[in-house]
Amino acid sequence: MIDSLIAPIAALLDKLIPDPRARDAAKLELLKLESTADLDRVKAQLSAIVAEAQSTDPWTSRARPGFLYVMYALLLWAIPMGLISAVQPDMAAGIARGMTAYLRGIPEELYALFGTGYLGYTAARAWGKAKGAER
């Protein structure tokens, strides 16, 4: 929400404050407000991810990496498919058609969840390593 307000408020400051120094100071304060809001938003997102990763419940703490391993397996299936296509191109084409139909049947939201989970897991790991909690 605050992102959509910054540009119009900055334009309004250009019209309302004639003094260039005062206008620049006001814009600087506006940018500080934006970065603080962004920082607070990122902290809130990371705290949820870290809490999930540190959970003592094995299902909770392993859900995101488990989901990633499944996605990796799906992507790595391209290697044997390449070998099959070298030996039996018709069989490989049939398998590819079947897998394409299967992958198109997966809801778009799951692909978005994968991307979000991957980025969140990566951010949580980087944050944990930076704090020295993980090695």
CA 2 to CA 48: how far, in whole Å?
Answer: 22
Query: In this predicted model, which residue has the larger pLDDT, 109 or 64?
Result: 109
pLDDT tens, residue by residue, 7-47: 666 776 677 777 888 878 877 877 777 767 665 666 676 67
* DSSP states along 84-113: HHHH-HHHHHHHHHHHHHHHHHS-HHHHHH
The CA distance from 87 to 92, in Å, is: 9
What's the CA gap between 129 and 135, in Å, rounded? Answer: 6
Q: What is the pTM of this model?
A: 0.36
Q: What is the pLDDT of residues 57-82, one digit of tens each?
A: 766 666 667 777 888 888 888 888 88
Given this model, what pLDDT does residue 94 score? 92
Confidence (pLDDT) at 106: 86
